[in-house]
Amino acid sequence: MARCHLTLEIHLPEVARATALFLDRIKGKTMTYNTLDYQVSEHILTLTLNRPDHMNAYTIEMAREIIDAFHRASDDDEVRVVVVTGAGRAFCAGMDLSTDGNVFGFEEELEPTIKDIERQLAGPDMIDGIRDAGGTMALAIYNCKKPVIAAINGAAVGVGATMTCAMDIRLASEKAKIGFVFNKIGITPESCSSWFLPKIVGISQALEWTYTGDIFTAEEALAGGLVKAVVPADQLLEEAYKIARRIAQHSPVAIALTRQMMYRNSTLDHPVEAHKIDSLAIYYTSSNSGKEGVQSFLEKRTPEYTDTASEDMPPFYPWWENA
């Protein structure tokens, strides 16, 4: 097959800005979900992967819907925490391999280089034909202002496993089976998991799981540090909601800042760089939600936070786009 190199104009090379441009393509559009269920109650969004007849196998359509859902949740003030789970007996059984053509959605006639992808990360050719659909989803989760809890109810294989790595807290049903099976079928890990997974479980465990492609139990995931707890299947969602409720009672702005600070500051070269962001964050929160927090503590009552993540983020946010 003849191949061609991309001819690309130089656009924004920064990953954060490229991702923002990508999300802007769907911003303001009301998307009807065919593969997801989006339900909000008690400030908790339950996002359910909803292809139970196919074990919630991942498709390009599902990728686009998950991206839209996280973009929507990030600015939805009714949502303070997101819980992700699967309908039926699986969480997500990996990529749907039954589709025609390149099952991963790639345009095989293109031959992109690293320079191409750096120069036009958010270009339409990149998004639709070259960039990993799991990775664009993981970046949408990463950029979300709301904490994310994975309630792994069953099989989580391939992208079904790697997508949880971009989530903050992972709980597993005792029935869950997890596998980073990419090498077993001749491909490589995706969904930015080479960035997330070693940070969660350490490089040695990450390499063992990805090299072997083995499918392992929830107890092995717990022993390896991937999940916080293993719970009975009928208690999984309630355990996730217990954590979510504790988070949802706090200031949405403070929570949004904390989420981004933990992820982004922990990768900086020197703690003084984190100190700069910490200083600005506590400066602005102390004069807003912090006043209610301190006053409620002194008055021995539950705080009533009125700030919103959609309108009240401090002026230095998002700081990584202005670096």
Q: What is the pLDDT along the chain (323 residues), one digit of tens a residue?
A: 344 433 333 333 344 544 554 445 445 567 899 999 999 999 999 999 999 999 999 998 999 999 999 999 999 999 999 999 999 999 999 988 777 666 666 666 667 778 877 776 766 655 566 788 899 999 999 999 999 999 999 999 999 999 999 999 999 999 999 999 999 999 999 999 999 999 999 999 999 999 999 999 999 999 999 999 999 999 999 999 999 999 999 999 999 999 999 999 999 999 999 999 999 999 999 999 999 999 999 999 999 999 999 999 999 999 999 87
- Encoding tokens for residue 213? 């492609």
Instruction: Tell me whether strands 81-86 and 90-92 are parallel, antiparallel or unpaired.
Output: unpaired
Burial 217-238 (b: 16+ CB within 10 A, else e): ebebbbebebbbebbeeeebbe
Three-class SS string for 14-56?
CHHHHHHHHHHCCCCCCCCCCCEEEEEECCEEEEEECCHHHCC
Domains of the chain: 15-248 (3.90.226.10), 252-321 (1.10.12)
Report the C-alpha dihedral over residues 135, 136, 141, 143, rounded to 10 degrees. 120
Which distant-in-sequence residues (6+ apart) come within 8 Å of 258 by Cβ?
none
CB atoms within 10 A of CB 267: 10
Asked whether the CA dihedral 257, 259, 262, 268 is positive or negative, the reply is negative
Asked whether the CA dihedral 240, 145, 64, 119 is positive or negative, the reply is negative
For the purposes of burial, counting CB atoms within 10 Å of the CB of 243, is it exposed (0-12), middle (13-18) or buried (19 or more)?
A: buried
pLDDT at 108: 61
pLDDT at 109: 66
Check: CB of residue 177 under 8 Å from CB of residue 157: yes
The half-sphere exposure of 319 on its side-chain side, counting CA atoms within 13 A, is 16
Sheet of 44-49, strands arranged across:
36-41, 44-49, 81-86, 148-152, 169-173, 229-231
Q: Could you give the 3-state DSSP secondary structure of residue 287?
A: coil
